[in-house]
Amino acid sequence: MNESFKKKILCIGAGYVGGPTMAMIAHKCPQYKVTVVDINPDRINEWNSENLPIYEPGLYEIVKSSRGKNLFFHTDVKKGIQESDIIFVSVNTPTKTFGVGAGMAADLQYWEKTARQILECSQSPKIIVEKSTLPVKTALAMERILSSADSGIHFEVLSNPEFLAEGTAVKDLENPDRVLIGSSLTESGLKARDELVEIYENWVPRKQIITSNIWSSELSKLVANAFLAQRISSINAISDLCEKTDADVSEVANAIGMDSRIGDRFLKASVGFGGSCFKKDILNLVYLCRNYGLTEVADYWESVVRINEYQKKRFVLNMLKAMFNTLADKKICLLGFAFKADTGDTRETPALYIANKLLEENAKLVISDPKALKNAKKDLKEAKGDISYVEDPYQAAKGCHAIAILTEWALYTELDYRKIYDSMEKPAFLFDGRNIVSHQEIYEIGFNVYPIGKPALKHF
């Protein structure tokens, strides 16, 4: 193996963030050796196979171009730590489910274990880069753990939050709006920061690599996600009003989005936001505010999550009401289970909430998704009721009373809805939780159509 690499980079945690980010660094920087380790051997085996553990457009191509050359996936965390100069930490930091802060604070157990393992295995100084989204001041805690043993080894902790979105990870990593690096402002902190800047400079223009103090960096990640989620909750709140007033939320979004101060992105009303970040990060922010006694600030941000819960609930209630207040024994086809298009990820997907609520009404579910059925089956493993999983949307909709579009997969805009209508029970209903199909055309086929934030089109 070529050991003359200029730098040896390790990433601990081969998930949605660690895997693609390291693949991009390896792809752009053949002069560096990039190793990704994970405690989960199945995940590592998948990263070493043709079936990567996550679906991301373009990811397989960049993994394949570097794997075995300067990109390696394995489970030997200890060896990985010993060999590296720079360690990215991207282990999971879910919301705590127990004890103080349960349901709000971040669960830092995986993260702290990693810090201790770095300390235990290191034989030389290292730069540690926080990639996982973490509460503000976590870097400080990590620094304390790392300097707790009197090993004489210096560790410099940097914060470098990842802003990629799933489904567009490769594009986002290749052309990021910005790369943010937080460091302490000491001489060694600034030196470490410059080393990380140098890595990104291989493909990101210098003016887009911004630096800050470490706490601003940690907080910026939480705030970016909170602002994005807030836009969705804002437009979703307006969608409810539109349904009551016969206004059209797309027209409203278009009109306000043309104001350059508001901007037109992230204004799509939907069945609610999902994904592993938004809810978790807002709750994290809320917990932080409460911790500092900022009750009003905490309540303000918490309302973003409350509106999101309300949007999901309201979607199911609308279905129930439209279908004559009973769903018992009715077959309902869910088109899409992933939390957004172009990913197989179902973490916090609105589809799970909706599926469970429909099952409570004794509806029979047929779930369809081009990439997320494996995860859907896992998510609904404990659920009681009649559920089937059918990838082909035509087969899935056959004999159903209603279709609910829950993920904005492009393929659902191109289906032959006449063919689907002919195969369904009548009256046939379509609930468009993503506003992606042509409602007038679908209505003219014969469907009763219920979009988000627009008047329903009904035949009765």
Q: Which residues bind ligand ADP (CB under 6 A)?
A: 12-18, 37-40, 43, 77, 90-92, 110, 113-114, 132, 276
Q: With CB cut-offs between 5 and 8 Å by kind, which of ligand UDX, ligand ADP, none does residue 339 bind?
A: ligand UDX
Closer residue to ligand ADP, CB minimum distance, 130 or 408: 130
Side by side, the strands of the sheet bearing 32-37 are 71-74, 32-37, 7-12, 86-89, 126-130, 155-159, 179-183, 209-213
User: CA angle, 283 as apex, 279 and 285 as ends, to 5°?
Assistant: 120
Min dist CB 312 to ligand UDX, Å, is 11
**Helix H segments across 86-186?**
109-121, 138-146, 169-174
Q: What whole-number distance in Å separates Cα of residue 75 and Cα of residue 218?
A: 28
CB of 44: closest distance to ligand ADP in angstroms?
9
From the list ligand UDX, ligand ADP, none, pick the one residue 118 interacts with, judged by a Cβ distance below 5 to 8 Å according to partner type.
none
By a kind-dependent CB cut-off of 5 to 8 A, residue 447 interacts, out of ligand UDX, ligand ADP, none, with: none
Residue with tokens 């409203």: 252
Partner whose binding site includes residue 275, from ligand ADP, ligand UDX, none (CB under 5 to 8 Å by kind): ligand UDX
Residues 6 or more apart whose CB falls under 8 angstroms from that of 310 comprise: none
Instruction: Spell out where 71-228 has E strands.
Output: 71-74, 86-89, 126-130, 155-159, 179-183, 209-213
State the amino acid at position 276 in one-letter form: S
Q: How far is the CB of 123 from ligand UDX (least distance, A)?
A: 34
Question: Would you say 37 or 179 has its CB closer to ligand ADP?
Answer: 37
Q: What is the dihedral of CA 157, 32, 206, 265, to 10 degrees?
A: -80
Closest approach, Cβ 380 to ligand UDX, in A, equals 18
Cβ atoms of 195 and 128 closer than 8 Å:
no
Binding site for ligand UDX (CB under 6 A): 162-166, 225, 228, 232, 266-268, 270, 273-275, 277-278, 339-340
Residue 97's contacts (CB-CB under 8 Å, 6 or more residues apart) are 103, 107
45 binds, among ligand UDX, ligand ADP, none (CB under 5 to 8 A by kind): none
Select the binding partner of residue 163 from ligand ADP, ligand UDX, none (C-beta < 5 to 8 A, by kind). ligand UDX
Cβ proximity to ligand UDX, 77 vs 158, nearer residue: 158
Instruction: Please identify, using beta-carbon distances, which residue of 53 and 453 lies nearer to ligand ADP.
Output: 53
212 DSSP β-pair partners: 182
Residue number, 39 or 445, with CB nearest to ligand ADP: 39
- How far the first Cα of the chain sits from its last, in Å, is 72
- Please identify, using beta-carbon distances, which residue of 228 and 442 lies nearer to ligand UDX: 228
> Least distance (Å) from ligand UDX to the CB of residue 232?
5
- 409 binds, options ligand ADP, ligand UDX, none, Cβ within 5 to 8 A by partner type: none
Q: 39 vs 237, which CB is nearer to ligand ADP?
A: 39
Name, in order, each residue with C-beta under 8 angstroms of 246's C-beta and a sequence gap of 6 or more: 455
- The tokens describing 103, both together, are 């349901």
| Residues known to be catalytic | 277
In the block, tokens 């990021």 appear at: 176
CA nearest neighbour of 205 among 165, 166, 175: 175
CB of 166 to ligand ADP, least distance (A): 8
Residue number with the shortest CB distance to ligand ADP?
Answer: 15
Residue 168 CB, nearest approach to ligand UDX (Å) = 7
By a kind-dependent CB cut-off of 5 to 8 A, residue 43 interacts, out of ligand ADP, ligand UDX, none, with ligand ADP
Closer residue to ligand ADP in complex, CB, 301/339 = 339
> Does the CA dihedral 202-208-214-220 come out positive or negative?
negative
Give, to the nearest 10 degrees, the angle between helix 214-245 and helix 278-291: 110
What is the spatial distance between Cα 112 and Cα 123, in angstroms, rounded to a whole number? 19
Q: Which residues pair with 33 in a beta bridge?
A: 8
Least gap, CB of 412 to ligand UDX (angstroms): 13
How many residues make up the chain in this entry? 460
Q: Which of 213, 225, 210 minimizes the C-alpha distance to 275?
A: 225
Q: Which of 94, 120, 99 is nearest to 109 (CA)?
A: 94
